[in-house]
Structure 1
Amino acid sequence: MRVLICPDKFAGTLPAAEVAAAVATGWRDRAPADELVLRPLSDGGPGFVEVLAESTAGRRVPVPTVDPLGRPVPGEILLVDGPGAGGTATAGPTAYVESAQACGLHLLTEAERDPKHTTSYGLGLLLVAAVEHGARRVVVGLGGSATNDAGAGMFTALGVTPLDAAGYALPYGGAALAGVDRLDGVPRLRGVELVAATDVDNPLTGLHGASNVYGPQKGADRADVLLLDAALQRFAGILVAELPGCPPELAALPGAGAAGGIGAALLALGGRCESGIDLVTALIGLPAALDAADLVITGEGSFDHQSLRGKVVAGVAGAARDRGLPCVVVAGQVSTGRRESAAAGVTEAYALVDHFGGETGGGLAQALARPADGLRGIAARLAGQWSR
């Protein structure tokens, strides 16, 4: 039997490559003769560069950067020659950049999470490095961010400083944008093409915007959300007024709210949004692997209502359904109903929490502490059910 194993990361516990390896090990324990194809995936969030680096002939370049509080952290860019996003040829390499390496929520403790003050400056340093290495196209994976500054910090690193009415540079963070009055400087991008690889279609502001939808998980309370939403609305107006070519409807564009508004910043600089999962699957050759498979196994940390809105599981399950293939989801927790899962192309879904005895039996603690063990156990059971 030909089994395609193509999961996303389990956020906070295992990267996608280790998830795939654990599932493969469990399956081989029960059905060693089956053919297993591993294709770890990312939708643009944490693990974006690592997943692409494993499947492309690219060059990983270390880049020192800073985290959402300005502390030094290691980053990297992936340089790939030849066709990049969209399949068109360029005069130079395409650089793949992961915003979560500099802006990721995982870089902060729970007590440090405060989107009023966190900054995207580190992502700007990664973009500068990509430009300095001769990239003609830069694809920025968006997701898993701790920031809500609409890319204001990123702009500063690129040479565009937001100023207040007195002409002073604003402090970092989304809250300070309530006092933005104008911009100083021009972006040092040398005409590169920008692509935002994102798994969300939220606008920048409003009920479904970055602050309202994602602010609370980054540490914002209700008062913070209202403050941040108004601040981003003001900043969007400044970008429209002062950046040549910035779309006039910037705040309302789909994807503008990605990664705390970094999507809006890239759109303001003339970039465009592309589906992160579609971009990754095309680059790593997933369609051909699906065509040759008998069964597909995918998964992520939490299989919930957001999973079916442009994330890895939705993309994989839909592609499997279109080919008439069964698709099994393995996740840390499962809260999506059977009916909506089936409509998305999911045949079965299994949770590590249940494997370890459920919520009341300490299953959640075990799922977080021993995810690889749980994945191996579930995969062995799946092999017993599905293998010929």
Structure 2
Amino acid sequence: MRVVIAPDSFGGTLSAPQAAEAMAEGWRRVAADDQLRLIPLADGGTGFVDVLHTVLGGVLHSTRVTGPLHGAEVDASWLRVGKTAYLEMAQASGLHMVPPERRDPDAAKRAGSRGVGELILAAAADPEVSRIVVGLGGSANTDGGAGALAALGGTPLDADGAPLPEGGAALARCAALAAPPALPAGVELVLAGDVDNPLLGEHGAAAVFGPQKGADAAAVEELDAALGCYAKVLAAAVNLDAEELATAPGGGAAGGLGAALAAVGGRRVSGAGLVRELCGLDAALDAADLVLTGEGSFDFQSLRGKLITTVAEAAAVRGVPCLVLAGRVAVGRREAAAHGVQDAYSVAEHAGGVEASMADPAGTLADLAADIAGQWSGSR
């Protein structure tokens, strides 16, 4: 049996390559003669650069940029392959940089994205780079990308002309930008997004992703209103329609960074689709009997342009069954099937609870894969 193993990363526990190796280790326990092809993937979020470095080679460059909280600097890398630079915003303003115990309403309202703009400038300073691809996902910030655009010249100001502090909540007082933000001359910007949510509203950056960053109901409402204020100011500064900026698909990616970078000329593409193409997933599926994919949490957000649905839909076109192995599963069987998923399996459920699965993420994922191999290997 020919099995393609193509997972995303599992939150903060396993990288995509580690998850793929764990699935393969478990599968081989039961079906040692099966042919396994490991293709770790990413959809623009955490692990985007590492996956592409593994597949494409290229040269990694490291720089220091402003982190998401308190102005503390963090190390971030970008990858140059030919004339293209690949970077992921999560290396500059990732949720993993905020410990779970600090993910409270205050942190959700204050986290910023300035480091992402600094990372873009670092890549653009390379004279060989003419195209920058930014992976959007896994963010700590809900600032509408205001911090990133401040690094590109568009510092948000209050009614008195004073610069606003970092974070989304302060944008409620945004009255103007110091200058229209702009990319360095001669650079094409591509936005590899992981979701299609808009900037504002019930499906927007604050409402959908704010709670996982620590925002309670009051903070979500405050952030959404502040982002609405900022969107009007930004749209006026770059001569865009404010309503279009606020509702465009993908604008809510990475805490609203998707909308900000689109406003300065970024072109949105599917992050999962881009990695799928660069990693040769389609050719691998052409020769496969089964595909395994997965991520930390298979939930309703997974169905909005993230990696699992990209893999599953590509498999379905070819009549190849697609199985999801995830830390937790919160998608119904019918909903999953509508996106090409044959079955979805929870590591936590198989391991006897979340605590048990988190104590040994690779081992419990391998155990689940072994159990599934016993059900599926040789079935075709």
TM-score > 0.5 by shorter chain: yes
- Offset of 1:60 from its aligned partner? 1.2
Report the equivalent of 1:119.
112
| Aligned partner (choices 128, 131, 138) of residue 121 of structure 2 | 128
**What is the percentage of aligned positions where both structures have the same residue?**
55
Inter-partner Cα distance in structure 2 for 1:174 and 1:67: 15
Quote how far apart the aligned CAs of 1:37 are. 0.6
In the TM superposition, what are the counterparts of 1:367-386 in structure 2 within 5 Å? 367-386=357-376
Per-residue displacement from partner, 1:138-194 (whole Å, max 9, x unpaired)?
A: 111111111111111111222221111211111111111111111123535223111
Decide whether the 8 Å contact of 1:61 with 1:78 is kept in 2.
yes
Amino acid at match of 1:270: G
50-59 or 247-256, which moves further after superposition?
247-256
Alignment correspondent of 1:88? none
User: Structure 1 176/199 Cα, relative in aligned 2: closer, same or farther at 3 Å?
Assistant: same
* Amino acid corresponding to residue 338 of structure 1 in structure 2: R
Q: What one-letter code is carried by the residue in structure 1 that aligns with 2:170? A: A
Q: Does 1:172 align with 2:162?
A: no
SS in 2 for 1:18: helix
Partner of 2:296: 301
Please provide the CA RMSD for this pair.
Answer: 1.6
The structural deviation recorded for 1:245 is 6.0
The one-letter code matched in structure 2 to 1:383 is A
* 1:285-311 CA-partner distances (Å, limit 9, x unpaired): 111011111110111111122222211
Helix, strand or coil for the counterpart of 2:112? Answer: coil
Tell me which residue corresponds to 1:77: 78
Letter in 1 for 2:165: P
Structure 1 residue ranges without an equivalent (≥5) = 82-92, 358-362
**Alpha-carbon distance in 1 for matches of 2:377, 2:344:** 17
* Whole-Å separation in 1 of the counterparts to 2:323 and 2:243: 43
Structure-2 residue corresponding to 1:90: none
Query: Who is 1:101 aligned against?
Result: 91
Supply the distance in 2 between the matched residues of 1:214 and 1:384 (Cα, whole angstroms): 37
Native 8 Å contact 1:159 1:188 kept in 2: no
Structure 2 residue aligned with 1:161: 155
Partner residue in 2 for 1:38: 38
- Over residues 252-285 of structure 1, what are the superposed CA-to-partner deviations in whole Å (9 max), with x where a residue is unaligned? 1111111111001111101121111101100111
CA contact (8 A) 2:27 2:369 kept: yes
User: Which digits, 9 at most, give the CA deviation of each residue in 1:318-350, with x for residues without a partner?
Assistant: 111110011111111112112222222112222
Give distance in 1, aligned partners of 2:354 and 2:239.
50
Q: Scaled by the length of structure 2, what TM-score is found?
A: 0.94
CA distance in 2, matches of 1:343, 1:244: 40
1:19 maps to which residue? Answer: 19
Q: Which residue is equivalent to 1:220? A: 215
Question: What is the Cα deviation at residue 244 of structure 1?
Answer: 4.7
Aligned equivalents of 2:279, 2:9: Cα separation in 1: 16
The one-letter amino acid paired with 1:291 is D
**C-alpha distance in 2, partners of 1:236/1:191?**
26
Structure 1 residue 110 displacement after superposition: 2.8
Question: Shift in Å at residue 19 of structure 1?
Answer: 0.3
Specify every segment of 5 or more residues in structure 2 that has no aligned partner in the other structure, as ranges. Answer: none
| Contact 2:164–2:171, Cα closer than 8 Å, also in 1 | yes
Superposed counterparts of 1:245-260, under 5 Å: 249-260=244-255
2:315 counterpart residue number: 320
SS in 2 for 1:78: strand
Letter in 2 for 1:132: A
